[in-house]
Amino acid sequence: MYVKGIRFFVGGAITALCLMLLVACGGSEPAAPVVEESAAAEPTESAPAEPTAAPVEPTESSPPMEEESELVRIEAGDGPPFYARFGENETFGDGEWVAIVFYRSPDCIPDEFNLNQFFDFPGEAGPGAFSCQPPTTDVVEYWVNGPETDPAPAISEMTGRGAVPVWFFAAADIDAAMTDGVVTIGELEAISSRRVGSASTFTEYLKPTQSNEAPLIRFMAEGTLEDGGNFLVDVSYGDPDVADHTTITVE
């Protein structure tokens, strides 16, 4: 009986030991490792999702781009309706000199005409600046519709006929002459600083204010002076590709 008790005790101890080992190991099989799948991230406010759809093509409701209007080309044999590149907002100088280009002979300009007003349109009093013929430049104008309806050409191009008059004055003298708002051809002739030149080369490209939201003027005159020496005038205003400037060289 003593031996049976020992066997029973040993068998019970072994059973208890196995139970303890099972509890210590968690009582279950080890869990399989979890493998994360690579899924596309959901869009968030800080990191929007990348677009996956193709760009939306314009629809018929989108306004088409406007085609550039074909301009009407006119050779203006009578020249422009003004005498000279001079007047209020039409005076070009570099601080030392003011240069005045004449589109018509200075000898033909009426004594009483105020050059400060620039234009001399034809009317009941007469043909205006068109009475001075011939002009000193050849003019080609480009109109949207035509001179019957448009206030001015969209573009005007001028080329000298070989002897375009260009007068030079001390800037201070021109400022003084313009103080009363009236400048006649006689006043200009009487200014002591006047130097008279003739441009063998003259070109002008103009987009008038009256017909353009972005007006532009470029002109260049090169020639000789009556009292000896040479001159060069280079002017550009409104050209987006060139800085606005008036350059005058008198030698």
∠ Cα 236 159 132 (to 5°)? 110
pLDDT higher than threshold 60 for residue 6: no
Contact 229, 250 (CB under 8 A): yes
Pair type for strands 72-75 and 92-93: unpaired
Distance from C-alpha of 51 to C-alpha of 22, rounded to nearest angstrom: 55
pLDDT higher than threshold 50 for residue 246: yes
User: Which of 31-45, 78-92, 117-131 shows the lowest per-residue confidence on average (mean pLDDT)?
Assistant: 31-45
Phi and psi torsions of 207, nearest 5°: -115, 100
Question: Tell me, what DSSP letter sits at residue 46?
Answer: S
Average pLDDT over residues 161-189: 97
Tokens (6 digits) for 49: 């999702």
Long-range contacts of 185-191 (CB under 8 A, 24+ apart): 185/106, 185/109, 185/110, 185/111, 185/113, 185/115, 186/111, 188/100, 188/106, 188/115, 189/106
Count how many Cα atoms sit within 13 Å of the Cα of residue 165 in the half-sphere of its side chain: 18
pLDDT higher than threshold 70 for residue 179: yes
pLDDT band of 119, cuts 50, 70, 90: very high
The pLDDT value given to residue 69: 58
Question: Tell me, what DSSP letter sits at residue 126?
Answer: B
Provide the β-strand partners of residue 119.
82
